[in-house]
């Protein structure tokens, strides 16, 4: 609906035109000009800026986890970080990558469809050289992978997919699985050429070798969870996950940690001369009797009181009262708080 001018505004306009302050066509152009947003129907934008920003934050976590995983696996300095997150057609993605290259087709269960993890040949052959005992120097080769090299890269990709699952855990319980590895982009047609995809580009540096890893996810694959790809949902999911997913993850990892358990049956003070004169068969008398409680230590910290005994032909102890020992560093911090 157009704005209606008042009589005073009409008079002022006529006065300005007659005095030559403005031209009639200039006013018409200014009033009728509208902001036009160019829209290409061949490349419709299906991801909002907020969704792209959320995906970038998620994969920055993926990049950090991959950096740690590859550094440990290759025993070399590895740096992975997100350089860009773009939306483009699948055909444009296929044309932008070299041939041959390493294309890992990933099943994105429980989401429908597949994604592609593309690794630059320079990165692929640097990883292979490093795992085969080489120095991991930059190698520029333009050939397909052998069967042995393919098997090695499959192991690396599977290792990386665990990090992808953890990075997506705040949005969905993703269970990515490696399907096949292709070297010719033309054989990796997971969606029609004009289908929109999200492309996450990760700059990867292994020692002195540099290259790119690209994660291509079609729109139709993540369409069911597109509403969850917002910064608000992502941050709220992180806060919810602190007491559930993260707690379970930390607990499961701690359960696999081994700890040294020792039983202290007593202590006695000896002079250095007495220690030097000890020999086989000597007896050291302890101040405790067998009826008293001993101390069970976890590491070097007292944890339980116990009583000695036997289980079959084995010497054993029975766990008793727990010792609530406060570490010295905690006591120091509490004293500091009281002083403050």
Of 215, 73, 98, 85, the closest CA to residue 156 belongs to 73
pLDDT of residue 223: 87
User: Which strands make up the sheet holding 102-107, listed edge to edge?
Assistant: 78-89, 196-206, 209-218, 114-119, 102-107, 177-182
Interstrand relation of 301-311 and 294-298 (parallel, antiparallel or unpaired): antiparallel
Question: Tokens in use for 213?
Answer: 């890893």
For residues 333 and 135, give the distance between their C-alpha atoms in angstroms, rounded to a whole number: 47
Q: How far is CA 165 from CA 59, 85, 106, 108, 210, in A?
A: 11, 18, 12, 10, 25
Among 45, 48, 190, 188, residue whose Cα is nearest residue 108: 190
Give CA–CA dist 236/15, Å, rounded. Answer: 60
Domains and CATH numbers, the chain: 1-36 (no CATH), 49-253 (3.40.1550.10), 261-339 (2.30.330.10)
Beta bridge partners of 177: 107
Provide the pLDDT for residue 9: 73
Element (H, E) at 123: helix 121-131
Residues contacting residue 252 through CB under 8 Å, at least 6 positions apart: none
On whether the CB atoms of residues 98 and 212 are closer than 8 A, the answer is no
| Whole-number Å distance between alpha carbons of 294 and 265 | 5
Q: What is the pTM of this model?
A: 0.58
Spell out the per-residue pLDDT of the chain, length 340, in tens: 445 666 677 777 777 766 665 555 554 445 455 556 555 555 556 788 888 888 888 899 999 999 999 988 888 889 999 999 999 899 999 998 888 899 999 999 888 889 999 999 889 999 998 888 887 777 777 788 888 999 999 999 999 998 999 888 888 888 999 999 988 888 888 899 888 999 999 999 988 888 899 999 999 998 888 888 876 665 565 555 455 666 777 777 778 788 888 888 778 888 888 888 888 888 888 877 777 888 888 888 888 888 888 888 888 888 888 887 655 554 544 444 455 4
Q: What pLDDT sits at residue 67? A: 92
Distance CA 135, CA 129 (A): 7
């Amino acid at each position: 609906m157009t704005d209606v001018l008042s009589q005073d505004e009409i008079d002022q306009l006529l006065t300005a035109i007659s005095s030559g302050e403005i031209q009639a066509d200039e006013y018409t152009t200014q009033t009728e000009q509208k902001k036009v947003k160019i829209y290409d129907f061949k490349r419709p934008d299906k991801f909002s800026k907020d969704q792209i920003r959320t995906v970038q934050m998620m994969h920055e976590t993926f990049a950090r986890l991959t950096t740690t995983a590859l550094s440990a696996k290759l025993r070399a300095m590895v740096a992975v970080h997100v350089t860009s997150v773009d939306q483009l057609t699948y055909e444009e993605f296929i044309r932008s990558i070299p041939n041959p290259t390493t294309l890992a087709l990933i099943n994105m269960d429980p989401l429908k469809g597949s994604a592609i993890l593309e690794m630059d040949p320079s990165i692929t052959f640097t990883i292979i050289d490093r795992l085969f005992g080489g120095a991991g120097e930059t190698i520029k080769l333009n050939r397909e992978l052998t069967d042995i090299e393919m098997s090695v890269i499959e192991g690396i990709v599977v290792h990386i997919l665990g990090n992808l699952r953890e990075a997506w855990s705040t949005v969905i319980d993703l269970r990515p699985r490696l399907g096949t590895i292709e070297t010719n982009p033309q054989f990796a047609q997971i969606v029609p050429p004009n289908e929109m995809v999200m492309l996450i580009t990760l700059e990867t540096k292994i020692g002195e070798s540099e290259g790119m890893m690209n994660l291509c996810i079609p729109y139709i694959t993540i369409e069911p969870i597109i509403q969850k790809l917002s910064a608000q949902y992502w941050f709220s999911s992180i806060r919810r996950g602190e007491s559930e997913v993260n707690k379970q993850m930390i607990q499961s990892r701690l359960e696999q940690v081994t700890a040294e358990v020792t039983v202290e049956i007593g202590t006695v003070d000896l002079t250095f001369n007495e220690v030097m004169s000890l020999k086989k068969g000597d007896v050291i008398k302890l101040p405790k009797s067998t009826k008293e409680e001993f101390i069970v230590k976890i590491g070097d910290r007292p944890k339980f009181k116990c009583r000695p005994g036997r289980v079959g032909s084995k010497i054993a102890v029975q766990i008793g009262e727990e010792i609530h020992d406060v570490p010295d560093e905690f006591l120091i911090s509490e004293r500091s708080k009281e002083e403050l």
